[in-house]
Amino acid sequence: MSELKIENLVKNFQGMDRPAVNNVNLDINSGQLVAFLGPSGCGKTTILKMITGLFQPDNGNITLDNESLLPIPTEKRGVVMVFQNYLLFPYMNVNENVGFALKMKGVDKNTIDQRVKEMLDLVKLPDIGLRKPKQLSGGQQQRVALARALIASPRLLLLDEPLSNLDAHLRDEMRELILTIQQKLNVTTIFVTHDQEEAVLLADKIALIFDGELQNFTSPKNYYEKPKNIKAAKFFGGVNFINADLVDNKIQSEIGFCEYQGDNISDLNKKLFLTIRPENIKISKNNEFDHNSYQGKITSVIFSGTHTRYKINVNNVHLECSLQSVGIDNIKEADQVFVHLPKDKIWGMND
């Protein structure tokens, strides 16, 4: 198991008006599966390449088990990266591709053959060892690339957009395989993605990166329930944002007084925003709620199968609510309703 520490990491590229990576600090515990999440060009892959040694940072340090990686050559770091386009050797068969790293280390053939078999069994491709890469599907190539990385028993496994080139059903299979293998081997793993759903399904913790800067590093659940700012909330599908003022630890919002149960009220500035997930808002034609109940008008109803999405105007603030479709066909566009924001589902933040 290996613990990774990133300290004040900076990388500049000529022609950019900002650092590609700007003062990033991260502590990744041994055995964790961590996602680097953010839009294209935000610096995710650049950080991975600095960890491997393909790029040298302009400032900062990267340590693995308290040893700086910066003076260590790439091939001796114990860090393996699986690239987005797999980079399999086209003239080698699968067995030769997977065993290549051990061959370069001078490991004997019998040991290589045994380890190759173990790795192909691990990625559930036991019978394709004699095929060439061009004879494989995209999903099979991805698994072979993963087997080739794991055969070297890396201290740290890096995956660059591991699912982006796969069809939807193959992504589901590969996601499950990555999670199973990571848990079985307990190898510290970082994967890069721009897909928040993928990050949530796989990662123990998510490092959210915008424009080269780390926005937050926390559990997937917190990004939904306790976002750090509006930008982070929006990236995870947040749509409800309400202006509010904090006065004597009480919140007066633009839709009315609001009872708040969040544990961060002492950290908030006087000017703040409230957010709540669409699925946590409740609506009713009668006022059935004892707190945080506001009158509003339905402005849009969108049926999407199992759920129906409502847009509601509350004191000229537009809120969205998502409810299960069963049993709510009595609420329609232009209806007057009562909107309930449960105090334990609201989250306050400063932008």
Residue 138 has pLDDT above 90, yes or no: no
Residue 169 — very low, low, confident or very high, per pLDDT cuts 50/70/90? confident
Task: Return the half-sphere exposure (C-beta side, CA atoms, 13 A cut-off) of residue 123.
Answer: 26
CATH code, domain carrying 205: 3.40.50.300
User: What is the model's pLDDT at position 1?
Assistant: 57
Q: Is residue 253 part of a domain?
A: yes
Tell me how far the alpha carbon of residue 188 is from its chain's centroid. Answer: 16
260 and 215 in a common domain: no
C-alpha 211/C-alpha 220 separation (Å) is 20
State the DSSP string of 33-85: EEEEE-STTSSHHHHHHHHHTSS--SEEEEEETTEESTTS-GGGS-EEEE-TT
Residue 305 has pLDDT above 90, yes or no: no
Could you tell me which of 237, 236, 235, 240 has the C-alpha nearest to residue 255?
240
> Under a CB-based contact definition with an 8 Å cutoff, are residues 173 and 94 in contact?
no
Helix (DSSP H) and strand (DSSP E) numbers for the chain: 8, 20
**How many structural domains is the chain composed of?**
2
211 and 284 in a common domain: no
Q: Is residue 233 part of a domain?
A: no
163 and 57 in a common domain: yes
Supply the range of the domain harboring residue 145: 4-225
74 phi/psi in degrees, rounded to 5: -50, -45
Place of tokens 């300290």: 7
- Paired with 80 in beta bridges are 157
Please compute the mean of the pLDDT values over residues 111-136 and round it to a whole number.
Answer: 94
Q: Is residue 231 part of a domain?
A: no
196 and 133 in a common domain: yes
Of 225, 255, 279, the position where a domain reaches its end is 225
User: What is the model's pLDDT at position 173?
Assistant: 86
164 phi/psi in degrees, rounded to 5: -70, -25
User: What is the model's pLDDT at position 31?
Assistant: 95
310 and 263 in a common domain: yes
> Under a CB-based contact definition with an 8 Å cutoff, are residues 124 and 156 in contact?
no
Q: Is residue 289 part of a domain?
A: yes
Residue 171 — very low, low, confident or very high, per pLDDT cuts 50/70/90? confident
162 and 44 in a common domain: yes
> Under a CB-based contact definition with an 8 Å cutoff, are residues 278 and 321 in contact?
yes
User: What is the model's pLDDT at position 84?
Assistant: 80
Q: Is residue 185 part of a domain?
A: yes
Of 225, 257, 278, the position where a domain reaches its end is 225
pTM of the model: 0.90
CATH code, domain carrying 317: 2.40.50.100
Residue 328 has pLDDT above 80, yes or no: no
86 exposure class (CB count in 10 Å sphere: 0-12, 13-18, 19+): buried
278 and 180 in a common domain: no
Residue 162 has pLDDT above 90, yes or no: no
247 and 206 in a common domain: no
Could you tell me which of 268, 298, 272, 273 has the C-alpha nearest to residue 283?
298
Q: Is the dihedral of CA 38, 39, 42, 44 positive or negative?
A: positive
The pLDDT tens digits for 5-44 are: 999 999 999 988 999 999 999 999 999 999 999 999 999 9
Could you tell me which of 9, 74, 77 has the C-alpha nearest to residue 47?
9
Of 225, 252, 281, the position where a domain reaches its end is 225
90 exposure class (CB count in 10 Å sphere: 0-12, 13-18, 19+): exposed
The pLDDT tens digits for 215-254 are: 999 999 999 999 999 999 999 999 999 999 998 888 999 9
The pLDDT tens digits for 69-82 are: 999 999 999 999 99
**What number of other Cβ atoms are within 10 A of residue 332's Cβ?**
10
